[in-house]
Amino acid sequence: MKLRVIIALSSAALLTLALALVSTAGPTCLGDADSDGVCDVEGGGDNCLGVANPAQRDDDEDGYGNICDTDTNQDCNTGAADLTGVFGNFGGSNPWSPKNLGAFDVNEDGGVGAADLTAVFGNFGSAPGPSGKSCADCLATPTTGLGLGTCP
């Protein structure tokens, strides 16, 4: 009788442990191409499919993560205006500018610097993204990170 009780208690403890491990493992993704822990499409979608960005920061709330959105003026193309905007805010610790509310801190380090300029040069002539969010819109009106954008 004592042996059966011990076996039953041991089985219950193992089951509890297994359930605890499964519940803390996080979501299971069908795809996470950049291995940032955010599913590419399921549950809202990764806002930057090719570059790891676990924080999913998207300051202008257009559905494209800052790390792959060098289109700061929302015209669907990284060009001279974006370069001018980043250069004009170079050295600033506040990546938001009242000039056009673009997110100039592309690399998400808290300031606008050489890495941000390099990213704009590297993406010159390209659209933002890609994004796994179905609501992503490169023509969206920029917001100030208050959850008021078209794709927060």
Domain borders along the chain are 31-122
Contact 111, 92 (CB under 8 A): yes
Q: Tell me, what's the pLDDT at 30?
A: 79
Q: Are 63 and 151 in contact (CB under 8 A)?
A: yes
pLDDT in tens, the chain (152 residues): 555 545 554 555 554 544 444 444 555 777 898 999 999 986 668 999 989 999 888 888 889 998 999 998 889 999 999 999 899 888 877 555 444 445 788 888 878 899 999 999 999 999 999 999 988 999 887 665 555 666 76
pLDDT of residue 92: 77
Q: List, in order, residues 6 or more apart from 85 with CB less than 8 Å away.
A: 72, 73, 97, 99, 100, 102, 104
- Total-model pTM: 0.72
CA 48 centroid distance within chain: 6
pLDDT of the residue at 22: 42
User: Can you list the pairs that 110-115 forms with residues at least 24 positions away whose Cβ atoms lie under 8 Å?
Assistant: 112/86
Token digits of residue 24: 């803390």
Please give the Cα distance from 34 to 59 (Å, whole number): 20
